[in-house]
Chains A and B, each alone.
Chain A
Amino acid sequence: MDEYRDAEDERALVERARADPSAFAELYRRYLPRVHAFAYRRTGRVEAAEDITSAAFERALRGLGQFQWQPGGFGPWLFRIVANELADQYRQAGRAASDRARGAVRQLAADHPDDPAELVQARDDVAEVLAAMNHLTPRYQKALSLRYLSGLSADEAAAAMGTSKATMAVVVFRATRALRQVMRKGGSA
């Protein structure tokens, strides 16, 4: 029931923001932490996360008129924009981005000297897998980041991707396999 009320509430917010763009601020405040967290998890850098967050919200504000209400609500649409921004960024940055991301996450590990060695190793592994993602196609990058890094449910991630949940599962499976192959070849190095 709460979910229904939240959805209705959000729908009203979206309608208000359409009529009066200044009302977009409430949507912005509602989604800022999640969007920023998504961008940060993917990039591993505060500056990059802020850039992505800014660009995504601005694009969402400008494109609000084209948003069509969908069962998942406003969130999947917004996260789709964020995923597109992330994919665009890595497409532009190319391989250099992977080195930066890996370095950034290694730096994160260094910020936690109390962590046991296994945790530091895990952080390094995560940095490597994020770097390897840069070698995938934008579609695969979007699928993996929406499914695993955005904090969305499987349904919401599929909605954000613009596919059915079943199709999303297949895309994620193939993207994961491609990622594994990149990592096996040392593509992230």
Chain B
Amino acid sequence: MTRDPRHLLEDAGARDVPGPDAAFADALEARLRAVAVSAPPAAPVATAPTTRRQSFGWARPMLAGLVATAIVLAAIAQGGLAPQSPTPGLELSAAVNVTVQLPDGTTVENPEGMILPEGAIVTVGEGGSARIGNVTVNPGETVVVHGGRAQVERPRPSVSKTAAPTPSAGPQSAPPSGAIGSSEPGSSPDPSTPAESASPAPGTSADPSATPTPTPAATASPAPTPKPKPVVVLAPRLRVRLAAAHTIAVDWTRTAGAKSYVLLMTRSKVGVAPRPTYPGTRVLATFSKPPAAAVQFVLAPGVVQVKLLVVALDKNGHELGRSRIVRVIVVAPVATPSPSASPSAN
């Protein structure tokens, strides 16, 4: 075995498979029709298909009510119901040789300042380090963000067991960290670690940052001015370039008064990526500040185009400004095989 299981599974999932045999399809349809004739019309029941839950159908409305009450109480306790209120509790800082895998499988390299979302998996490579909130993560360690907490899963020496690995606690209950033995020290701790990105491809760094930002007033007058006009930046300037095959480098400028930045990305595997909208489009990541160096996102195989947008928010989560939408063609059409990046016209 030479490759990581995750990559092997991705290969298995992308593999072409034979379609169902026509005779089988017809036979099964006939059988289903026969079953349908013998079965009475289904009475709609508001439960999931698992049989265990059916006997507790009464509990669902009660549980929903309790959850709703808890949410309202929590919101009141936090001082209101501000939308998208940034809570930089699990902020990644001092990130060196760090890979973050987001819940959708996207991996990011050294995303300094990223507010880690629920489900994020942070891996520190050899010689690297990171801080998440007030937790220091050392080389070889992995952190799983779950239940609003950063659970450090340190590598353990392999325990000789013959049975299948012990299942960790389900995600509904707080799972213990290190429930399963981890990778050996010194070995690559996580499958998601992408290759180091190459230098920027020539001709791919078409600067999309044509955001009309207000220019500071050129006060060249030698006359004594009572006070200098402050530089007011109303919108972040987003820059995206192809750093390597299926890796994009993203950074943006600071916006005055912004307490967090929301990065949105839409992807397409077939052609034109949808236009990112805020609010509305899935948030790829939230940052407390613009990255000091370009953050590198490794895209899933098959993605041919992405569009990105960054929105600056104030301390209450209200929008201060937004960048232009930047489009990146990850894989050029057949006629033009070289990858290119270009600012979106929209």
Name A residues whose Cβ lies closer than 8 Å to a Cβ of B. Answer: 18-22, 24-25, 28-29, 32-33, 36-37, 40-41, 46, 49-50, 53-54, 57-58, 61-68, 77, 80-81, 121-122, 125-126, 128-130, 132, 135-137, 139-140, 144, 147-151, 154-155, 162-171, 173-174, 176-185, 187
By a CB distance below 8 angstroms, the chain A residues around B3 are: 122, 125
Known: A25-B29, A77-B49. A184 touches B20 (CB 8 A): no
A164:B29 contact, CB within 8 angstroms: no
Cα A154 to Cα B179 in complex, Å, equals: 24
Partner of B165, one of A37, A151, A170, A182: A182
Size bracket of the B interface: 35 or more
Name B residues whose Cβ lies closer than 8 Å to a Cβ of A. Answer: 1-6, 8-13, 15, 17-21, 24-25, 28-29, 31-33, 35-37, 39, 41-50, 54, 101-105, 117-121, 144-146, 158, 161, 164-165, 167-168, 170-172, 175, 179-183, 191
What would 27 A/B residue contacts be, using CB atoms closer than 8 Å?
Answer: A21-B36, A21-B39, A22-B33, A22-B36, A25-B33, A36-B20, A41-B13, A41-B15, A66-B42, A80-B49, A125-B1, A129-B5, A129-B8, A132-B5, A136-B165, A137-B167, A144-B9, A148-B13, A164-B119, A167-B118, A167-B146, A170-B144, A173-B101, A174-B175, A178-B167, A178-B180, A185-B158
A154:B5 contact, CB within 8 angstroms: no
Cα A144 to Cα B6 in complex, Å, equals: 9
Which residue, of B32, B39, B191, has the highest number of chain A Cβ atoms within 10 A? B32
By a CB distance below 8 angstroms, the chain A residues around B165 are: 135-136, 178, 181-182
Cα A28 to Cα B124 in complex, Å, equals: 46
Q: Is the interface of B mostly helix, strand, loop or mixed?
A: loop
B168:A125 contact, CB within 8 angstroms: no
Known: A36-B19, A149-B9, A180-B183. A57 touches B121 (CB 8 A): no
By a CB distance below 8 angstroms, the chain B residues around A167 are: 118-119, 146, 171-172
A57:B28 contact, CB within 8 angstroms: yes
Cα A22 to Cα B39 in complex, Å, equals: 9
